[in-house]
Structure 1
Amino acid sequence: LLMATHVLAVVTAAWTGAAVVRVVLAVGGIPTRADNHDDDPEAPLRGGRVIGMLERTAVAASLLLAWPAGIGIILAVKSLARFSELRAPHASEQFILGTFASVLWASAIAGVSILAGL
């Protein structure tokens, strides 16, 4: 049962986090993907939804596997991969707010799953 709870937590974190990130970006006044034209090759931070889902999956899994240091590796890899794109207008704000919201959401969902297993 605990394994099923953790798997459900990872899936929930991955699939529901995009809505949370969009709300945080809107509150922060940062244009969302719908405004940035995700199909435009020149748009900043393309592929953010898929990268965000993978990020939330990895963060939740790393916490549920009792390996919180994994979050540092995830964020380092993401930052290095996106580094060249962060000079575009609004890209750095979108990156920081989006990543922070995404990681907090995945951590919260993982935390609830851990507490449910106690």
Structure 2
Amino acid sequence: MTTLALVLLGLAAVSPAVLASGRIRLWISPTIATLALGGAALAATATRPVTGFALGATLVLAVLAAATGGAPLVRAAFRIAKRQEDAGPTPDAAVLAPRVAGEGPLRGGRIIGVLERSAVAVAILAGWPEGLAIVLAVKGLARYPELREPHASEQFIIGTFTSVLWAVAVCGVAKALIT
């Protein structure tokens, strides 16, 4: 079961990169990443604590899955938010659609998201949950001047919450394998 959990954790890490292209596959990447993480969680509950190489593989795969797997989920959350009519006036398509570099009110979000999810995962796996507060505080302070632009605060909140929830979920699976 440990091997199955690690394979599924690896699938959650690589599926966003493999399935990232194409409009037809809009929902496939986040669905596969989420299902793989759920399968890894189920397999992790039926294992003994990992040691040695499996421990190292668990930590590396967890950080990779946290860093890469969150991006398609964030884009899916943006698409869902764009469809909500109770959210007020409809924002520009460039704000909530999968973005090309330079579009939307918050630039550099993909790179910042990868760094944010990596930092959150490392902090939690290192047993330093206070690091989560520091990461979010630094991100909020750095983005503060940009948050006054139209729809920037919504994009910031949706992206941050989705990213952090994904990273915490991946760390939960890793912790289930470790303890």
Q: What is residue 32 of structure 1 aligned with on the other side?
A: 97
1:32-88 deviations in Å (ceiling 9; x for gaps)? 342xx4235xx4110000000000000011000010000000000000000000011
1:23 maps to 76
The structure having more radius of gyration, on CA atoms, is 2
**Pairwise mapping of residues 88-103 of structure 1 onto structure 2 (< 5 A)?**
88-103=149-164
TM-score by length of 2: 0.61
5+ unaligned residues in a row in structure 1: which ranges?
none
Query: Match of 2:18?
Result: none
Alignment of 1:33-48 (within 5 A): 33-34=98-99, 37-40=100-103, 43-48=104-109
CA distance in 2, matches of 1:92, 1:113: 31
Secondary structure, aligned partner of 2:119: helix
- Partners in 2 of 1:70 and 1:31 — Cα distance? 29
Q: In 2 relative to 1, CA 33–83 (structure 1 residues): closer, same or farther, beyond 3 Å?
A: farther
Q: Which runs of 4+ in 1 moved over 2 A?
A: 37-40
Task: Please report the RMSD computed on the Cα atoms of aligned residues, expressed in angstroms.
Answer: 1.3
Q: TM-score, normalised by structure 1?
A: 0.91
Q: For the residues of structure 2 that align with 1:97 and 1:53, how far apart are their CA atoms?
A: 15
Is 1:50 aligned to 2:111, yes or no? Answer: yes
One-letter code aligned to 1:63: I
Pairing 1:61-80 to 2, within 5 Å after superposition: 61-80=122-141
1:13 maps to 2:79: no
Number of aligned residues: 114
1:28 Cα offset (Å) = 1.2
The residue type equivalent to 1:12 in the other structure is A
Q: Please state how far the C-alpha of 1:27 moved relative to its aligned partner.
A: 0.9
